[in-house]
Amino acid sequence: MLTKRQEDILKLIVMKYIELAKPVSSNLICKKLKCSSATVRNEMVELENLGLLEKTHTSSGRVPSEAGYRYYVDHLMQPKEMNGEEMLKLQIIFKNQNLMLSDCLKKSLQLISDMTNYTSIVLGKASHENQLKEINVIPLDRENMIIIVITDKGHVEHKTVTIKDVSLEEVKKTVSLINDLIVGTPIDEVSSKLEFEIKPIIGRYVKEHEIIYNTFYQVFQEFSHQNVDVVGRNNMLKQPEFNNVDKIKEILTKLDDENLLANIETDNNDIKVYIGKENNLDDDVTIIKTTYHTPSEEGTIAIVGPKRMDYDRVVALLEYIKSNIEK
C-alpha cells in the first residue's frame, strides 16, 4: 500500500514524464511538493523497489514502469476536462451530418489523431460475427454487374464483377435463392454453405450455374475478414519514442497488419487501457479502446500511442466520441 506522499510523487512523475518525455528528477518533483529533493529521492527508491519506477541508467531520473502506468491509470488518474477547442471541433463534425455514421466516426478520429499525435483505429466486427443479411445485384451492362453484400452489423461491401454469356435473369434467380436460403449465416461460413446448399439447387434450376456459382463464391471469399480503418498513422511518428528508423518500421508494419489489429477487438463496453505488454500489438505502445453500439452498426474504436501517452485526455476524448456516436 502506498502512502499519500508516494502516490503524489508517482502521479507527478507520470504526469511530468508524459509532458516532457524525459526522465524526471527529484528536483523537479520537490518543487511541487513541500519537501526536499533528498526526501523525494528516498521515496523514489521505495517506489522503484515496488516496481513502479525505473531508471534508464544509474544516475538518471526516474521513468514510470508499466506497473507504474497501470497504478496511475487505476488509482491516480482523473479524467481531464476536454478543452473547449477540441469539443467545438468535434461538435462540428457530429452536428454537421445527420448521415453516414462511419464517415463521422472516421473524421472525428482523424481529428483526434491530429490533435494528439496518436494513431486511431476503427474496427468493424469480424466477419465471423457478421451475419449475411441480404445481397443485391445491380446490372451495369451486358457483362458487368455490382454485387452488394449487407450484413446484420451494418457492414456493406460491393464488388464489380464480370459475368459473360449469362442472362441477368439467371443471376437474379441465384440472388433470390441466396436471400431465401442462407441469410443469417456468419459471413465466414457463407462460402461453404454456398457450396453445399446452393450449388446443388442452382445446378438444377439455373442455366450457366457453374459460372454464376463461381462468381458468388469468389465474392464471399474476398469479403473482408476484418473491416479496419487506421487513421493518422503518420502522426505517431512525431512522438519522440518513435524516432529511430527501425522502430518506425516495426510499428508501421504492425499497424498495417490486419491480423494483428483484429486482436484489438473487444467486447467490453467500458473504456479499457492496455499498457505495453498488456496488448498484443507492441510492447512499446498503449492501446486505449472501447466499443460503440448503434441500432444499425457496432464496432470498436481504439487509440494507439506510446506508453507515455496522455491517458487522461485520451480517455476523455474517447468517452466523448462514444457517447456522441451512440445517439
Partner DNA sequence: TTCTAGCACTACTATTTCTCAAGTGCTAAT
Partner DNA sequence: ATTAGCACTTGAGAAATAGTAGTGCTAGAA
Interaction site with a copy of itself (CB under 8 A): 97-103, 134, 136, 138, 140-141, 143-144, 146, 148, 150, 154, 156, 158-163, 214-215, 218-219, 222, 233-234, 237-238, 243-245, 248-249, 252-253, 256, 296-297
Decide: is 6 part of the binding site for DNA (CB under 7 A).
Answer: no
The least CB distance from residue 43 to DNA, in Å, is 8
The least CB distance from residue 46 to DNA, in Å, is 10
The least CB distance from residue 80 to a copy of itself, in Å, is 28
Cα 77 to chain centroid distance, Å, stands at 22
Query: Phi/psi at 202 (nearest 5 deg)?
Result: -65, -25
Q: Which is nearer to DNA, 49 or 296 (CB)?
A: 49
The residue from 19, 21, 32, 45 that contacts DNA (CB under 7 A) is 45
Strand order in the sheet with 119-124: 228-231, 119-124, 298-306, 285-293, 272-275
The residue from 37, 191, 224, 324 that contacts DNA (CB under 7 A) is 37
Q: How far apart are CA 274 and CA 304, in angstroms?
A: 10
Q: Which is nearer to DNA, 20 or 92 (CB)?
A: 20
The SS3 of residue 308 is coil
CB 252 within 8 A of CB 296: no
CA nearest to 34, candidates 61, 58, 8: 8
Q: Which does 48 bind (CB under 5 to 8 A by kind): DNA, a copy of itself, none?
A: DNA
Query: Phi/psi at 80 (nearest 5 deg)?
Result: -75, 145
Q: Which is nearer to DNA, 56 or 97 (CB)?
A: 56
Q: Which is nearer to a copy of itself, 3 or 221 (CB)?
A: 221
Q: Report the helix count and the strand count for the chain, using DSSP H and E.
A: 13, 10
Containing 248, the helix (H) or strand (E) segment is helix 245-255
Q: State the residues that interact with DNA by CB under 7 A.
A: 23-28, 34-39, 41-42, 44-45, 48, 55-62
